[in-house]
Amino acid sequence: MTGNSRKMTVPRFQQRKGEGPPLVMLTAYDVPTTLAAEAAGVDAILVGDSLGNVLLGHESTLPVTMDEMALHARSVGRARKSALLVVDMPWLSYHIDPRESVRNAAQLVRVSGADAVKVEGGRKRVDAIRAIVDAEIPVMGHLGLTPQSVLQMGGYKVQGRAAAEAERIREDAEAIVEAGVFSMVLEGVPPKLAKQITGDVSVPTIGIGASPACDGQVLVYHDLLGMLPGPSPKFVRRYDESFDRHVKAIKRWSDDVRERSFPATDETYE
């Protein structure tokens, strides 16, 4: 028997619905972040289009291209060993034509060795989801606050507070499950709605700003570790202040350079 027996697969991920501890998913964008996530034992790694915000300096995920997603997915894929690997499909890569959606999903899987792709949206995206699943590529859904819909939503706002809106999201959840998603992210929805959907659907729900009632949780790597200055979203719990620590380390090194104590004799070649 060959392969990594510890590797998380799509069927194993699905089996965790209602069984065992909640699933843990973290974003990663390169070799260092992937190695750290794997060493910490996460269940799944998401190459998120959030790289547009945390790496490329954009105000939204909309400018992120297929080439950029492929570049980072390839890097993560080289370092990933055991975690389930999911890659975000960027804006407009699955909105126009189901056949184009399949080609783009296949490109991301081909360059990275990913186990699945992630698609935002509900009933409007059912045709794309079905086509990608029919091509034997597993799809993770994403409902609620969908960052690629930021223009239509008028900003990053909690979704599903009104009864009609909550019902629409519940119907979207049923529709994408019927279309074939193996799991779904619920972002920026009230706890009551997240709990209802988690109880209604047969696939794992992964919360971000949703509820501990979800079957798992996901956060952005840089948010979790405080790698960027400034405030974090309400749903983020920062487990480190990496930015401040990095600044202090760089300052110490800068001082050593200016004082000519770096490099020392044992740090140079004869």
Q: Annotated catalytic sites, by residue?
A: 187
Give the separation between CA 195 and CA 26, rounded to whole angstroms.
Answer: 21
Q: Is the peptide bond before 263 cis (omega within 30 degrees of 0)?
A: yes
Check: CB of residue 35 under 8 Å from CB of residue 220: no
Give the separation between CA 257 and CA 252, rounded to whole angstroms.
Answer: 9
Of 174, 164, 199, nearest to 123 (Cα)? 174
3-state SS assignment for residue 183: strand
Check: CB of residue 256 under 8 Å from CB of residue 262: yes
Instruction: Say how many CA atoms lie within 13 Å of 61 toward its Cβ.
Output: 22
Query: Which amino acid is located at 110 in the chain?
Result: R
